[in-house]
Amino acid sequence: MRIAFVTETWWPSIDGVVTRLTATVRELKRMGHQCLIVAPAGGAPDFEGIPVLGVPTVSVQFIYGGKPWGMPLPRVVRWIKAWEPDVIHAVNPFFLGIAAVWAARRLRLPLVASYHTNIAAYARFYHLGVTEPIIWAILRALHNRADVNLVTSRMVEEDVLRHGIQRVALWPRGVDLEHFHPRNRREEMRRRLTGGREAGWVALYVGRLALEKGIERLKGLFSASPDLHLALVGHGPAEAWLREQFDGTATTFVGPLTGQGLAEAYASADFFAFPSTTDTLGLVLLEAMASGLPILAADSAPTHELLDGTGAGILFDPARPDGVAQTAQRLLASDLQKMGMQARREAERWGWREPTRELVAFYRRAQQSSRERWPGCSVNF
């Protein structure tokens, strides 16, 4: 198949959406499919032989921390028409995604849309909570143009259905089991995570340094053990504020890591700390589990969905001021090695090949839906 991805975020941005899309297009390429990526400008013109077409961006600092949004220009429709795809996949459609929806309608092509980020909920953290109904109206209008709408967890499926999005299906989770592995543990990386200081325990956070992630909750970790060090891997609009919040604590702001460095960071810590209650899945949880890390996570529907019954971690109550400290004490008193082995065992169920096979099946479903919608369409499917 020929698949045209139109995505709201791409390299050099680093987040769970980029990670999932990167793994997906790699797997699709291995399976013999051809891909095109249309994304906000700023990255390389190709990705491992896959063409990447960049559109100009616009950003406003107080909206999602100044994230660059690709502009839905008419050239996107021309690019897609010239490339002649079998299906269009709009990833997290909101702004640039308008062009994907328009292209599918104009060219009578099957459209699949995937929902990854609760943009409406994030608006609350940027003093824009009043816009939530408007954001949902935009999302509903875009997604309901799609033949299939993919979500990453059952909780999200219930949420989007409640907000009027139709034709919803679950796109299973996945993780690179070869790249993220306990064998990547390195003492040199551990020293980097602690800034060269001695530490009995190293807690790791990986992700965007942003208000909606609830990272300030992790200050409670230091009440659990005086011998604990926290490493924050990533960057984002709230970094300066977080540095103030964690001033005087045993915290290292490591900065963004990718590739082998990121894999080593996971494997070189003692447990993974996930304070967010706004994530729709938390791909970093899977990466940590694949690396053999026990999980300390905020109680939310997606974390329950991922961790319940696995023995891979424990959840804390984010509404309680002492929730992190008390739960971290329980975690540190547990058999972390055994818990880490259970985390790896659970992650081994979630390689990327099967989710990508299911994605191709969703593309086939979208093709069938498109044929029914436009009988006699001349586009070659």
pLDDT tens, the chain, 381 aa long: 999 999 999 999 888 899 999 999 999 999 999 999 999 999 999 999 999 999 999 986 555 556 788 999 999 999 999 999 999 999 999 999 999 999 999 999 999 999 998 777 766 666 566 778 899 999 999 999 999 999 988 888 999 999 999 999 999 889 999 999 999 999 999 999 999 998 899 999 999 999 989 999 999 999 999 999 999 999 999 999 999 999 999 999 999 999 999 999 999 999 999 999 988 777 899 999 999 999 999 999 889 989 999 999 999 999 998 999 999 999 999 999 999 999 999 999 999 999 999 999 999 999 998 887 755 444 432
**Residue 65 has what pLDDT?**
57
- Closest CA relative to residue 188, chosen from 268, 104, 272: 268
Question: What three-state secondary structure class fits 34?
Answer: strand
Cα 41 to chain centroid distance, Å, stands at 20
Residue carrying the six token digits 């790699």: 26
- The encoded tokens of residue 371 equal 């044929």
**Residue 125 has what pLDDT?**
63
What the chain holds in terms of domains, given with CATH numbers, is: 2-174+352-373 (3.40.50.2000), 182-347 (3.40.50.2000)
In angstroms, the CA 311 to CA 306 distance is 11
How does DSSP assign 244-300, residue by residue? HHTTTSSEEEEE---HHHHHHHHHHSSEEEE--SS-SS-HHHHHHHHTT--EEEE--
Element containing residue 226 per DSSP (H, E): none
112-to-69, 97, 135, 144, 368 alpha-carbon distances in Å: 20, 11, 20, 10, 12
135-to-10, 103, 122, 279, 284 alpha-carbon distances in Å: 21, 22, 11, 17, 26
In angstroms, the CA 364 to CA 173 distance is 20
For the chain, first and last CA: distance in Å? 9
Check if the beta carbon of residue 231 is closer than 8 Å to that of residue 306.
no
- Closest CA relative to residue 312, chosen from 276, 329, 288, 283: 288
* C-alpha atoms less than 13 angstroms from C-alpha of 143 in its C-beta half-sphere: 25
Check if the beta carbon of residue 377 is closer than 8 Å to that of residue 370.
yes
- The encoded tokens of residue 288 equal 């940590």
Interior CA angle at 226 toward 224 and 231, to 5°?
80
In angstroms, the CA 64 to CA 165 distance is 23
Task: Give the strands of the sheet with 295-298, arranged side by side.
Answer: 251-255, 228-233, 201-206, 271-274, 295-298, 313-316
- The encoded tokens of residue 135 equal 């954001």
**Residue 380 has what pLDDT?**
37
**Residue 117 has what pLDDT?**
83
Q: Before 318, cis peptide (omega within 30)? A: no
